[in-house]
Amino acid sequence: MTGTDTGQQAPSSLLIAQLARGTRRRIEQVVAPIGLRPRELLALQHLRERGPNLVAILNSLEDAGLIQRSRDRADRRRAIITISRGGERLLADLDRALGQLDDEILAPLTRSEREMLNLLLTKTVMQMGSECASSPYGGC
């Protein structure tokens, strides 16, 4: 699901998102010879698309009670950001919503076809996952 192992199949919509993320990582590998790391490329893309809004995004998430920020005791300049209980509850709600989204998007498929799609997506994402773990480019 969105980060918990409940023994259930992950929603196909989430697997598709993971597949997209892995594909994006591969694209980033193509630009690595330019001297950029994936995180730097993502930061540049974020700045180009949304402007200097990262702090605003974190402020918004904190104001909504979805994250908590604290200072690192070893390095007071460093902020530690964690998911709050409210954020965890929201992710659980999102798991349910993604299941409903699968039901809507995949309605034309039979149960067997949906299971096969999910199996194929899982297999593809797992392969990307093993590539991410060994990637010198910082993972997916």
Per-domain boundaries in the chain: 12-51+85-127
Residue pLDDT tens, the chain, 140 long: 454 455 678 888 888 888 788 877 776 676 677 776 666 766 776 667 776 677 877 888 899 998 899 998 999 888 898 989 998 898 888 888 878 878 888 899 999 999 999 899 888 888 877 666 555 544 55
CA dist 119 and 1 (Å) reads 14
pLDDT score, position 41:
64
3-state secondary structure of 114: helix
Q: What is the pLDDT of residue 31?
A: 66
Query: Facing residues of 83 across strands?
Result: 67
